[in-house]
Amino acid sequence: MSDTTEALSAIPQFAADELEAPPLSLRQLAWRRFRRHKMALFGAVMLALLFVYCFGGALWVSEDYANYTDTKARLQAPSVSHPFGTDTVGRDILARTIYGGQISLIIGLTAMLVELVIGVLIGALSGYYGGWLDSILMRFTEAVFVIPQLFLLIVMAKFFGGKVPNLTLLGRTFSGSVVVVILIIGATSWVYLARIVRAEFISLKEREFILAARAIGTPARQIIFGHILPNSIAPIIVSATLSVAAAILSESYISFLGMGVQAPTATWGNMLEGAMNYIEEAPWFWIFPGTLIVLTVLSINFLGDGLRDALDPRSRVV
Amino acid sequence: MTETEPLVRVEGLVKHFPITRGILIRRQVGAVQAVDDVTFSIARGETLGLVGESGCGKTTVGRTVLGLYPATAGAIVIDGHHVRTAKGAELMAIRRKAQMIFQDPYASLNPRWTVGAIVGEPLRVHKLCRDEKERLDRVKELMQLVGLSPRLINRFPHEFSGGQRQRIGIARALASQPLFVICDEPISALDVSIQAQVVNLLEDLQERFGLTYLFIAHDLSMVRHLCTRVAVMYLGVLVEMAQRDEVYESPLHPYTQSLLSAVPVPDPQVARSRKRVLLEGEVPSPINPPGGCRFHLRCPQAEARCATDRPAWRDVGGGHWVACHRV
């Protein structure tokens, strides 16, 4: 009998304790969910290592060394003096993957940002306002959509190439061609994102919480960026992470055609391109930049996957 | 403006949703005549119940009155402000004075916002608090007011039950200290046991803040409990409006009579002995509503002119409005 009363009295106490626990903040919750996602954690760590490799490595190796040609040491296999081997003109591949990685990562991330800004803006305006604005923006999007991206890349690269002066940032001089490539990739890849965002906005704007916000008098800008955009973050993050990978690959296409980042500036993309004719006789030539591209793309995708789950408050995994 | 001026006045309200065809060149091929020539007014502190079956345009009336849907024609005046022409500061004044509680407590709260952000939104938008701390205090006060623990301020909507979520929606609606609140079926998505709690809360709040309600519902017994006056809607038009007891005890319009006879009675003996007015057929489509009286196809008392002339919406005495040729 006393056991029963004891057991019963324990129930409300337990419930009270649970209520008294201080609620976790948004960030804490997101971090907890993110931590659970082992692959995302792996992606984040790997990406951090890649950044350390590319930007920290620059402290040990100078850019001049990465671009130094030694015709006596052409196509050497990995050795103590050249751990990753040398390329066709005797440049050290280890040094070039470090500096090439900087450019590739910068191109991938900034081109994604350009794409994100254009795609989200056009998709959001089109989806939220609808009507004639939607018709105009979507016809424009479709016009960009139907032209093959490669063709656009070539035409724009030819048109803008060499018109942008070199610029100095963080003590390094970047070839103007890097900026051109970033803008071109950003400007040609936003169409998918714009359509995804538009579709999300069209479905979300009819929801009752948007009506409630309108009844409150919340300005359209806040409804778009405060209410609708956070609710469509999942597909945007997925699309953005994929586009980092796509941007790194796009850069190698145009570099391949001689219109991308100009030599001697290295990128992982144009290093791969240079290895085209030596796939069998000098595998170190493509293995190292290729592996780095694969690792980067994979890590970013895992990271995006984890972020999507972590940023969703409805997710039950805590 | 005098004290006798009603808080809300709606005259000849029409809302048609156009049906369009074509991709590049849009042309209108028809319209859903959701609301057609609706006139009513609500006095300060009063609760007007708006009843009718699903799809008759009740929700559209509510949303159009607040200007969430642009009206096709008619006049809407809330506390002296014309909703259809209001812009800028005047529109914001209307938004502050008139609020809405929604039907679906699951869809009406942003799933990515915390309760604090949701309830605090009107305070932020209308700049009603000096700083962050004052806003937080006010949000906690509002949460207490609707019976939620202020400790739950950082929780997300999905962590609450339906009834609690509806309380969050009520707290949000009250944040800007409105005069007029449209309750759009606030209880129909809730469990019966929770319905009573929410209705009592709405009553308490009305008493405390002198709120004026437009209470949209299809539960006739709940409306009888809560409302001072009741308006009955059928296929986009008002058919009858009067003091609550008058509507329930001496309904004049045949549709109201039939609607009331469908209310279940808990006593089986009374239920068996009572006269049921059963209607024939289905509610016609609002895309192509019948001419004349919209109810004539199903009306047990219809006569020839009902099919051709639209009955006027008139006061038959003592504030009892009805639209029927036979009355």
Q: pLDDT of B45-74, one tens digit each?
A: 999 999 998 889 999 999 999 999 999 999
pLDDT of residue A17: 42
The per-residue pLDDT for range B84-111, each reduced to its tens digit, is 999 899 999 999 999 999 998 889 999 8
B208-to-A203, B45, B56, B89, B212 alpha-carbon distances in Å: 38, 11, 32, 28, 11
Domains annotated on chain B, with CATH? 1-55+72-227 (3.40.50.300), 231-327 (no CATH)
Closest of B163, B167, B140, B162 to residue B151, by C-alpha: B140
Interface test with B, best of A27, A203, A209 (most B CBs within 10 A): A209
Task: Please check whether residue A84 is in contact with residue A288, taking contact to mean a CB–CB distance below 8 angstroms.
Answer: yes
Whether A194 is covered by a domain: the verdict is yes
Decide: helix, strand or coil at residue B269. helix
Sequence-ordered list of residues with C-beta below 8 angstroms from that of A192, at least 6 positions apart, any chain: A119, A239
Cβ atoms B131, A224 nearer than 8 A: no
Which of A139, A200, A207, A216 to substitute to test the interface with B, most B CBs within 10 Å? A216
In a domain, residue A268? The reply is yes
Dump pLDDT digits (tens) for B268-292: 887 777 777 778 778 888 888 888 8
DSSP, collapsed to helix, strand or coil, labels residue B20 as strand
Locate B99 and state its tokens.
């609020």
Nearest-by-CA chain A residue for B98: A215
Cα separations in angstroms, B297 against B127, B134, B307 = 53, 59, 8
Q: What angle do CA A83, A85, A86 make, to 5 degrees?
A: 135
- Chosen for mutation from B66, B112, B159 (greatest number of chain A CBs closer than 10 Å) is B112
A249 has pLDDT over 50: yes
Q: Residue B273 has what pLDDT?
A: 78
Is residue A79 included in any domain, yes or no?
no
Question: What residues have CB less than 8 Å from B279, skipping those under 6 apart?
Answer: B258, B298, B300
Domain that holds residue A186: 24-58+92-310
Predicted structure pTM score: 0.81
CB contacts of A24 in chain B (<8 Å) are 154
Residues of A in contact with B169 (CB under 8 A): 212
What is the domain-level CATH number for residue A112? 1.10.3720.10
The answer to the question of residue A15 being in a domain is: no
In a domain? residue A4: no
**Contacts with B107 from chain A: Cβ below 8 Å:** 207-209
Give the angle B50-B56-B58 at the CA atoms, nearest 5°. Answer: 35
Planar angle of CA B230, B233, B239, nearest 5 degrees: 85
Spatial separation of the C-alpha atoms in residues A125 and A194, rounded to whole Å:
10
| Residue A8 domain-assigned (yes or no) | no
**Tokens coding B182:** 């449209």
pLDDT-wise least confident of A221-230, A284-293, B167-176: A284-293
d(CA B212, CA B218): 19
Domain total for chain A? 1
Q: Is residue A234 part of a domain?
A: yes
The CA distance from B236 to A45, in Å, is: 61
Q: How far is B62 from chain A (nearest CA, A)?
A: 11
Residue B153 in tokens: 């301020």
Q: Provide the shortest C-alpha distance from residue A29 to chain B (in Å).
A: 11
Nearest C-alpha of chain B: how many angstroms from A207? 6
Q: Has residue A44 been placed in a domain? A: yes
